[in-house]
Structure 1
Amino acid sequence: MFPDLTRDDVFRIETRRLWLRWPAAKDRDAILKLAGDPAVSEMLARVPHPLPAPVVDAFLLQARSENAAGSALTLALARRAAPATAIGVVSIEVGPDRMPELGYWLGKPYWGAGLIREAVSSLCHAFFAYAGGTELAASARSVNPASRRVLESCGFQHVGTGLRPFPARGADLPVDRFRLDRRRWQMLESEPAMTEAA
């Protein structure tokens, strides 16, 4: 799914305020603390609470393996001022219906500053511009309007609602489903006001 360009751990995307880089062992403690926060984990399908260290270790190994194979792209978010400190994660991997699917989380101390929108927009750009993507899916729990706003601000269009498995929550939960296709992405890329918004 992803080209050779992204398959080396020196690959990174730089935005105005962030580095999106391969996750590394040094991110373990930050991920444990930030993703393990119930306010974050309760919105995520695969992150249990409490979050055990072996789950984070397995996540880091799997993310790096899939990045190297080009079957997915998972990047840790770090502020440019502190590139060694992870504050969240953004990824594109093959979803249950075999369509590439966007996922993300941001640590609670960093909410409200537009950082996740900046990261999502940049990863979508990489997917369509470098990986030749044609369509990208995403979903957000119906009780998470902030996540919905992120997707809508990045050009995703609402395509319906439904239930989705949330293994870490022990149930299928209601989600809003979204799509972004290449044509819409190209249209948005040609509108500077949309791409420059933080």
Structure 2
Amino acid sequence: MFPEITHDDVFRLETERMWLRWPRLSDVAAFTRLAGDPDVATRTANIPHPYNVRDAEQFIRRARAENESGHGLILALAPKGAPNEAIGVIGAHGSDFRGTALLGYWLGRPYWGQGMMTEAARGFVDLIFGVTSLGEIVCDSLPDNLASRRVQEKLGFTSLGEIEIEAPARGGRMTVSRTRLSRGAAHTAFGARRPKFTST
């Protein structure tokens, strides 16, 4: 799904305030602290709670393997002034629908309300459509996670209604709200600018 340029852990994406880079084992402490916050974990379908060091280590290894294979791209968010300090995660994975990626993200609670995730997601979505041939991106959120829905709305995602998904971290199946952004809608919403990324 993703091209060779993203398969190396020196790859990074630049936004106004952040670097989006591969997650590293040195991020374990930050991920454990931030994703272990129940206000973060329980607003997702995928982060278990409690969340411990072993969970963080397993997530990072899986993310790096997925990045290396090109089947997905999972990046840690880090402020430009502190590029080694992860504050959240954003990722895209292949889905059951041909030509579609599934977008997911979370952000540490100390960074909420500052537009950080909207900024990161806009750059990441630009990247997806800029370096792949995918036709659309879908994104799921819990129905009461209004902050996540606002991020999607700002990027031009439109509602597909509610569906049920498997959510082992939440103990079984659960209902989520699914939204969709097509390549054409993204081009209209974002313009023709190209994402800034490096691989050196």
Deviation at 1:74, TM superposition (A): 0.1
Q: How does 1:31-42 map to 2 (within 5 A)?
A: 31-42=31-42
Cα distance in structure 2, aligned partners of 1:23 and 1:30: 11
C-alpha deviations, 1:122-177, integer Å up to 9, x for none? Answer: 11001001122211110110010110000010111111112222211113222111
Query: How high is the TM-score relative to the length of structure 2?
Result: 0.92
Contact persistence 2:45–2:142 (CA under 8 A): no
Q: Which runs of 5+ in 1 are unaligned?
A: 193-198
Cα distance in structure 1, aligned partners of 2:157 and 2:170: 26
Cα distance in structure 1, aligned partners of 2:192 and 2:140: 25
Cα distance in structure 1, aligned partners of 2:97 and 2:166: 13
Q: How does 1:16-31 map to 2 (within 5 A)?
A: 16-31=16-31
User: Which residue number in structure 1 is paired with residue 56 of structure 2?
Assistant: 56
- More divergent stretch after superposition (90-99 vs 7-16): 90-99
Cα distance in structure 1, aligned partners of 2:174 and 2:74: 24
Deviation at 1:112, TM superposition (A): 0.2
**Structure 2 residue matching 1:5: 3-state secondary structure:** helix
User: Which residue number in structure 2 is paired with residue 128 of structure 1?
Assistant: 129
User: Which residue number in structure 2 is paired with residue 174 of structure 1?
Assistant: 175
Q: Which runs of 5+ in 2 are unaligned?
A: 194-200
Contact persistence 1:139–1:175 (CA under 8 A): yes
User: Which residue number in structure 1 is paired with residue 15 of structure 2?
Assistant: 15
User: Which residue number in structure 1 is paired with residue 101 of structure 2?
Assistant: 100
C-alpha deviations, 1:3-24, integer Å up to 9, x for none? Answer: 0111111100011001100000
Q: How does 1:159-198 map to 2 (within 5 A)?
A: 159-190=160-191
Give percent identity, aligned residues only.
Answer: 42
Cα distance in structure 2, aligned partners of 1:43 and 1:96: 24
Deviation at 1:36, TM superposition (A): 0.7
Contact persistence 1:44–1:166 (CA under 8 A): no
Deviation at 1:52, TM superposition (A): 2.2
User: Which residue number in structure 1 is paired with residue 150 of structure 2?
Assistant: 149
Instruction: Please give the root-mean-square deviation of Cα atoms over the aligned residues, in Å.
Output: 1.5
Query: How high is the TM-score relative to the length of structure 1?
Result: 0.93
User: Which residue number in structure 2 is paired with residue 80 of structure 1?
Assistant: 80
C-alpha deviations, 1:1-53, integer Å up to 9, x for none? Answer: 00011111110001100110000011000000000100000022221111122
